[in-house]
Structures are given as structure tokens and as C-alpha cells.
């Protein structure tokens, strides 16, 4: 009777659901004073909220559970699940190892989240060990676990193991098919992913989104948009945030502004929540498609309280890429005033802005600020700094900067220095750097082209020809440059010296006319022979 009364008291206190940890602290303190803090209703609700809620604290859940004299197994599953979704997924593995020593018996709800943690940690050794444990206790064909295993092997880029497990499974559901589809997409094998996709008798938004994302990550942007169009025509699945982020990314890479606007309108028409991620994707798309005004409109339409560093980065980078250098720096100061902490990408955008604007002093300031913040500059930050100095003609300073770096120089760093040397006439250093670039990237055709240009400027035509011979000897083929233009909703791809486009005759006729207007006699055949390394 007393226990029943205690339960009624606890249930009465917990009748309103906790919405924050501060509320939970007060309830916990009250129940401790009443001697009811270890009653089951409170125990289960506390573990559920603290371990699984976005407003909870999984570390609190772990401490709470550890102090119970007889902690329930479901509680450890809650904690393992909570850590697998946290910023420290390795803690779930640590908890698992610890509680095994106490006689904990893992079940079908334990392993999926441990496997998820191994995926997030990219730790194949732990993943393989967990798979062995699953087989050992007879859970190898549990559907939930198998689906997670396929996802894990996909994250390890091990499509063979993922496929083997898929083929051996006695029963499959839609999640299984989505898992193998996603595994192929993660491995960059869009051909196999498409075969799986076409074989599926039922698809949901995850299926469509995985296929679209696979094409985007493989650089096949038109194919991604074709799948999206097919999804819209069939109408069986409504696009979600993940789908639209991938579609907007495809539009951005194609420079398909009109298509991007249609996608934006669709998002508004179906009342898809304009999350920070989605708004950031819209800003990025408009900026890359050349419509910085539209990007600014999306940015200004967001509440400052709902923004994050990624959105500010997209806008700062977009302004800089369109030549609004001072405006991008001013926006950074506004970001600081809004109490949004900059991250490494923020400083990368700022350094890129300084590079485009020739702002050497400001670049040094931002680079120093990055280091003073406690963050370790990445190779991209060093490359931007080299580019700033090289574009400003300070090639010796750029060379010294590279020599004093804490990391080994990359191709992008040396490439920036090489271009600066050519632009400012330091051909001796340009030759030295050009040779280092070929040593560093022997299969990059652009490195041979760059050094050949140095020799050509120096009228060392024999040495320039030797670069062509070196390329042929090493089997390096020159990749033709290309451009993409959107016209009436269709993207047209043009390759240098290519005449396969169905309007090539008209296009070259107009180009010849422009050349005539410029009083410049364009001879395409001769120009290709004389400038074999250009384009």
C-alpha cells in the first residue's frame, strides 16, 4: 500500500513532461527529500529524458544510472543510445565495455547504437568486433541489427561486405534496401546504387534522397536533378530537408539559377520548414548561381537567433566571391556583434575575401586570430594565406611563409605561389616551384602546363616541348577545360575546342563576329597548335 502511494506521488509530480534539465533538477531534488528518487516511474522517465531528449544530458543519465543499486538493462541501452548520438560516440563503446564486466547482457536494442558509434568513429576494428559479438550471441539475422551493419560497412566504404550481408539476409524490408542503396552511394558506386534503386519495388523519401545525394557526391548533377524530377512526377514521396539540400547543391554546381528558383518556390509551396540547414543551402545556391541579391534576401529573412556559423559563412563567402570584399568583412563584424562564434570555415571565407581584395594586412590579422583562438590552421588556411601574399606580388614572403609552416606544403599552396611568380615575373622561382609541383603531383596535367608556360615565356621552347613529352611518357592526359551555361532551364556544357554541341556552328560564327568587332583575327586551328597548353 505504501509503495502504491509512493508511485502515485511520483506520477503526480511527473504528470507534466520535463522540458529542460533545470526542471528535472528541481524534481529530482524534491524526490530525494521525499525519499522517492529511486521509484520506478521517476527512474524510467529520468533516463528516457536525459539520455534521449534533445534537451537532456546523457552524462547526467550515466551518473544517475551508475548510482542505482540495481540499474535496469534498458537504462544502459538508453545511455548507449544517447552517447551514440552525442558529440562523443566513443563513450558508448566505453560504457558497453564497462558494463559487460558487471554481467550486463546486451540485446537487440544494444548493438545497433554501438554499430552506429563505430560508424561515426570510422573504426573498422571496433565494428568488426561488434559484428563478431552479434554472431556469437545468435543475433546475426536480427533485422534491426543487419540493417545497421549494412549502413556501418557502407560508412567504412566496404561495399563488398555490405553486399554480402544483404544477399545472405533471410528477410529484407524497405530499410534494408535503403541501407544497401546508401552504402553504394557512400562508396561512390552510383552505377550499382542505380541498379539497386531500379530494382526496388517500393521506395520512400529516403530511397529517393539517397540516390539524389549519390549522384551529387559523384559530380553527376544533371542525373541528380533527373531523379528529383522523376520523384516529383511519381508523387509517391514528399521531398524532405535532406532531399532539397542535395537538389539545391546540384543546382549550385550547375549554375542553374532558374532551376534553383523553381526549387525554392517548391519548398515554400509545400510548407517545408525553413531550417537553418535549408536556408544555408539556399544562400549557397543563389551565391554560386550569381544572384547575390537573392542570397542576401534569404539571409536577411532569417532571425538572428535562428542562425548559426554555417549560414553566416555562406553569406560572407558569397559576398566575397562576388567582389563585395568590404561588405563581407563588415558582415563578419556583425556576426561577432550577434554573439555567433566563428569557426574554421569562417576564417577560411575571410582569408579568401582578403585574397580577392588584396588585403594583406587584414589577412594576417585573421590568420593570427585563428591561431589565437586555439584552433590549428588547416592546409586550406595556409593555402589561402599563400594566395593572399602571391596575388599581392609578395612572392618572396609567400615562399618564406611556406618554408616556415608547421605542415608540408600542398599542391594548392605551391600552385598559388607558382601563379604569383608568373604574374609578377619571378620566373626563376616559378621554375623551381613548378618542378616541385610536378614531383608532388606527377599525374596532374595542370602542373606540366604551368611549367611549360614558364619556359614559353622565357622563350625556352625546347624545354616547353619536353613537358609534353614528359606527359606522354607518364601517361598524363590533358583534361580539357569546360564551362556550364544555363539557358531556358537547360544546362549546356562546353569543352575547350569542342564542336559537338548541336549549335556549334552558330556559336563559333558569333564568336568569330565578336573577334572581328574587336579587330582581332581569330584563327582557331593555329591558336590550338600555338597554345597547346592553354584552356
**3-state DSSP assignment of residue 518:** coil
Q: DSSP for 3-48? A: HHHHHHHHHHHTSSPP-SHHHHHHHHHHHHHHT-TT-HHHHHHHHH
Return the residue matching grid coordinates 531523379. 227
- C-alpha 94/C-alpha 113 separation (Å) is 13
The dihedrals phi and psi of 101, each to the nearest 5 degrees, come to -70, -20
Residue pair 224/250 in contact (Cβ under 8 Å)? The answer is: yes
- C-alpha 307/C-alpha 299 separation (Å) is 9
Report the pLDDT value the prediction gives residue 529, as an integer from 0 to 100: 39
Report the pLDDT value the prediction gives residue 233, as an integer from 0 to 100: 94
Hey, what's the cell of 313?
A: 559563412
Report the pLDDT value the prediction gives residue 482, as an integer from 0 to 100: 65
Residue pair 208/233 in contact (Cβ under 8 Å)? The answer is: no
Residue pair 61/80 in contact (Cβ under 8 Å)? The answer is: no
Q: What residue spans define the domains of the chain?
A: 486-530
Hey, what's the torsion of the CAs at 58, 62, 63, 66, to 10 degrees? Answer: 170
Residue pair 424/393 in contact (Cβ under 8 Å)? The answer is: yes
**3-state DSSP assignment of residue 166:** helix
Q: Packing angle between helix 276-288 and helix 292-300, nearest 10 degrees?
A: 160
**3-state DSSP assignment of residue 109:** coil
Using a 10 angstrom Cβ sphere, with 0-12 exposed, 13-18 middle and 19 or more buried, the burial of residue 284 is buried
Residue pair 184/147 in contact (Cβ under 8 Å)? The answer is: no
Residue pair 481/488 in contact (Cβ under 8 Å)? The answer is: no
Q: DSSP for 229-245? A: HHHHHH-SS---HHHHH
Report the pLDDT value the prediction gives residue 508, as an integer from 0 to 100: 80
Low-confidence stretches of the chain (pLDDT < 70) are 1-18, 36-37, 39, 478-482, 484, 486-491, 496-497, 519-535
Q: Which helix (H) or strand (E) holds 527?
A: helix 524-530
Report the pLDDT value the prediction gives residue 7, as an integer from 0 to 100: 58
Hey, what's the torsion of the CAs at 173, 176, 178, 183, to 10 degrees? Answer: -170
Report the pLDDT value the prediction gives residue 11, as an integer from 0 to 100: 58
Hey, what's the cell of 461?
A: 621552347
**3-state DSSP assignment of residue 494:** strand
Between the alpha carbon of residue 119 and those of residues 83, 106, 153, 213, the distances in Å are 13, 19, 8, 19
- C-alpha 527/C-alpha 522 separation (Å) is 8
482-487 and 490-495 as β-strands: parallel, antiparallel, unpaired?
antiparallel
Return the residue matching grid coordinates 544555363. 486
- C-alpha 229/C-alpha 216 separation (Å) is 14
**3-state DSSP assignment of residue 96:** helix
Return the residue matching grid coordinates 588585403. 359
Residue pair 211/194 in contact (Cβ under 8 Å)? The answer is: yes
Report the pLDDT value the prediction gives residue 54, as an integer from 0 to 100: 86
- C-alpha 532/C-alpha 64 separation (Å) is 71
Amino acid at each position: 500500500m505504501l509503495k502504491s502511494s509512493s508511485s502515485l506521488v511520483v506520477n503526480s509530480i511527473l504528470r507534466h513532461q520535463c522540458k529542460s534539465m533545470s526542471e528535472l533538477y528541481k524534481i529530482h531534488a524534491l524526490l530525494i527529500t521525499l525519499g522517492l528518487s529511486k521509484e520506478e516511474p521517476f527512474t524510467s522517465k529520468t533516463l528516457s529524458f536525459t539520455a534521449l531528449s534533445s534537451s537532456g544530458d546523457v552524462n547526467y543519465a550515466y551518473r544517475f544510472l551508475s548510482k542505482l543499486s540495481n540499474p535496469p538493462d534498458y537504462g544502459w541501452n538508453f545511455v548507449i543510445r544517447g552517447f551514440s548520438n552525442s558529440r562523443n560516440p566513443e563513450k558508448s563503446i566505453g560504457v558497453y565495455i564497462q558494463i559487460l564486466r558487471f554481467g550486463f547482457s546486451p540485446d537487440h536494442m544494444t548493438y545497433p547504437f554501438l554499430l552506429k558509434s563505430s560508424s561515426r568513429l570510422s573504426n573498422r576494428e571496433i565494428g568488426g568486433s561488434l559484428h563478431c559479438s552479434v554472431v556469437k550471441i545468435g543475433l546475426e539475422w536480427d533485422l534491426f541489427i543487419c540493417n545497421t551493419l549494412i549502413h556501418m560497412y557502407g560508412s567504412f566504404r566496404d561495399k563488398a561486405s555490405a553486399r554480402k550481408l544483404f544477399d545472405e539476409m533471410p528477410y529484407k524490408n524497405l530499410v534494408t534496401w535503403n541501407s544497401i542503396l546508401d552504402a553504394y552511394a557512400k562508396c561512390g558506386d552510383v552505377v550499382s546504387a542505380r541498379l539497386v534503386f531500379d530494382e526496388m519495388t517500393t521506395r520512400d523519401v529516403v530511397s529517393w534522397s539517397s540516390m539524389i545525394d549519390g549522384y551529387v557526391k559523384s559530380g553527376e548533377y544533371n542525373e541528380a536533378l533527373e531523379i528529383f524530377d522523376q520523384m516529383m512526377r511519381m508523387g509517391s514521396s514528399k521531398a524532405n530537408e535532406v532531399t532539397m539540400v542535395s537538389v539545391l547543391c546540384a543546382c549550385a554546381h550547375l549554375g542553374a539559377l532558374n532551376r534553383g528558383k523553381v526549387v525554392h518556390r517548391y519548398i515554400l509551396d509545400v510548407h517545408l520548414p525553413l531550417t537553418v540547414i535549408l536556408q544555408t543551402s539556399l544562400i549557397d545556391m543563389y551565391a554560386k548561381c550569381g544572384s547575390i541579391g537573392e542570397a542576401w534576401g534569404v539571409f536577411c529573412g532569417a532571425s538572428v537567433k535562428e542562425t548559426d556559423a554555417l549560414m553566416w559563412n555562406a553569406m560572407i563567402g558569397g559576398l566575397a566571391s562576388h567582389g563585395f570584399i568590404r561588405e563581407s568583412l563588415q558582415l563578419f563584424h556583425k556576426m561577432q556583434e550577434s554573439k555567433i562564434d566563428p569557426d574554421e570555415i569562417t576564417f577560411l571565407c575571410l582569408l579568401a575575401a582578403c585574397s580577392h581584395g588584396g588585403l594583406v594586412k587584414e589577412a594576417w590579422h585573421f590568420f593570427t586570430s585563428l591561431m589565437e583562438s586555439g584552433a590549428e590552421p588547416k592546409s586550406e588556411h595556409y593555402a589561402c594565406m599563400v594566395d593572399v601574399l602571391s596575388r599581392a606580388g609578395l612572392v618572396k614572403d609567400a615562399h618564406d611563409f611556406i618554408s616556415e609552416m608547421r605542415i608540408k606544403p600542398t599542391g594548392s599552396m605551391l600552385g598559388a605561389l607558382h601563379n604569383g611568380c608568373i604574374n609578377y615575373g619571378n620566373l626563376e622561382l616559378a621554375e623551381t616551384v613548378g618542378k616541385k609541383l610536378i614531383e608532388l603531383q606527377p599525374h596532374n596535367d595542370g602542373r606540366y602546363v604551368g611549367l611549360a608556360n614558364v619556359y614559353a615565356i622565357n622563350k625556352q621552347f625546347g624545354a616547353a616541348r619536353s613537358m609534353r613529352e614528359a606527359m606522354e611518357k607518364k601517361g598524363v592526359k590533358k583534361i580539357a577545360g569546360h564551362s556550364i551555361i544555363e539557358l531556358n532551364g537547360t544546362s549546356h556544357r562546353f569543352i575547350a575546342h569542342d564542336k559537338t554541341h548541336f549549335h556549334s556552328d552558330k556559336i563559333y560564327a558569333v564568336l568569330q563576329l565578336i573577334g572581328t568587332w574587336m579587330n582581332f583575327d581569330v584563327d582557331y586551328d593555329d591558336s590550338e597548335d600555338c597554345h597547346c597548353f592553354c584552356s
